[in-house]
Chain A
């Protein structure tokens, strides 16, 4: 089993829809969780960062962590065509010297 699993999609939704992107992880020691957005031909950019269970909100984006289920989610409200990108989840354990482990990414298209 891979340490971080992410459905690659592609996922296509109409403009204005609520989008749910998900990852599962296998190591209960993972405590830092991040979501990155990657536009075509660009590097990943950090969207959300949390190290606790529960929800963290930033504008239209909400990151949710359920450590009991080892499940992390990113919700996008009122999705826009500009949200069309690949979304990658990432996590790492604490304590430890292990760098981030990334999911393979989910490609999202928001259709106007």
Chain B
């Protein structure tokens, strides 16, 4: 299995609070991605990174920010969580854009 660790694995929080999810990899892959997965919508890309401090927006980036200060860590932040951001969040990594992505086991986030 690709060395990808997501933390926390589960979180329940209240509307309006800030939330940070962490993805840590041990594969030294250049690309890292954050997705959310919701029933009826499948996997939707939030943001991705193609190197330290290099990030770009995905399909559903509004309300989310990311940071990558080290190759191995990619953080996803919800500055002020809303109930619509209740979802399962997956981190993925790939060596480059043409290589398959490998996924972590997800973070279940509930915003009440």
Any B CB within 8 A of the CB of A104: yes
A97 near B97 with CB under 8 A, answer: yes
How far is A12 from B97 in the complex, measured between Cα atoms in Å? Answer: 34
A60 at the interface (CB under 8 A from B): no
Interface residues, chain A, CB within 8 Å of chain B? 8, 32, 34, 36, 41-46, 49, 88, 90, 92, 94, 96-100, 102-105
Closest chain-B Cβ to A67's Cβ sits at a distance in Å of 17
Q: List 27 A-B contacts (CB under 8 A).
A: A32-B98, A41-B106, A42-B106, A43-B4, A43-B92, A43-B104, A43-B106, A44-B43, A44-B90, A45-B102, A46-B100, A46-B101, A46-B102, A88-B42, A90-B101, A92-B97, A96-B97, A98-B97, A99-B33, A99-B45, A99-B48, A99-B97, A99-B101, A100-B101, A102-B42, A104-B41, A105-B43
With an 8 A cutoff between CB atoms, is B58 at the interface? yes
A26 to B99 CA separation, bound complex (whole angstroms): 21
Q: Is the CB of B105 within 8 A of A42?
A: yes
Q: How many residues on B have C-beta within 8 angstroms of the other chain's C-beta atoms?
A: 21
Given A43-B105, A44-B103, A104-B41; A94-B98 close (CB under 8 Å) = yes
Which residue of chain A has the shortest Cβ distance to B106 in the bound complex? A43
- Report the 5 A-B pairs with minimum CB-CB distance, sorted nearest first: A43-B103, A104-B42, A102-B43, A46-B100, A43-B105
Q: Which residues of chain A are within 8 angstroms of B48 by Cβ–Cβ distance?
A: 99
Docked complex: B27-61 residues within 8 A CB-CB of A? 31, 33, 40-43, 45, 48, 58
In the bound complex, what is the Cα–Cα distance between A79 and B56 (angstroms)? 40
Contacts of A44 in B (CB 8 A): 43, 90, 103
A103 touches B42 (CB 8 A): yes
Contacts of A100 in B (CB 8 A): 101
Contacts of B45 in A (CB 8 A): 99
Residues in A neighbouring B43, C-beta threshold 8 A: 44, 88, 102, 105
The answer, among B40, B58, B102, B106, for a CB contact under 8 Å with A99, is: B58
Binary per-residue interface labels of chain B (72-101) against chain A in the complex, 1 for a CB within 8 Å, 0 otherwise? 000000000000000000101000011011
